[in-house]
Amino acid sequence: MTDVEDFLLQELEDQVTWQLGKNSLFSVKSLYNALTQSDTGPAHKLIWKGKAPPKIKLFIWLMTNSALLTKDNLIRRIC
């Protein structure tokens, strides 16, 4: 409760900003640059810069992040 009491409310209107762009506005280029930066791992850049259909790139990305809902992953999530 102390955290809630310390929070100051203001009468200002909410603003939505895009943190990945330079001017706080969404652009496809800023999203693409964020997805293809090499600081997220060596395979990440190879996947997204590769010459493959987008659905294949997404499948490989899910596979490398152990996010595919295969039978063993589903069992692990349930238990």
- 48-40-56 Cα angle (round to 5): 25
For the entire predicted model, the pTM comes to 0.42
Short-list 33, 53, 54, 56, CA closest to 45: 33
Mean pLDDT value across residues 34-59:
79
How confident is the model over 5-46, as pLDDT tens digits?
787 788 888 888 888 878 888 889 888 887 777 555 667 778
For tokens 């010459």, name the residue. Answer: 51
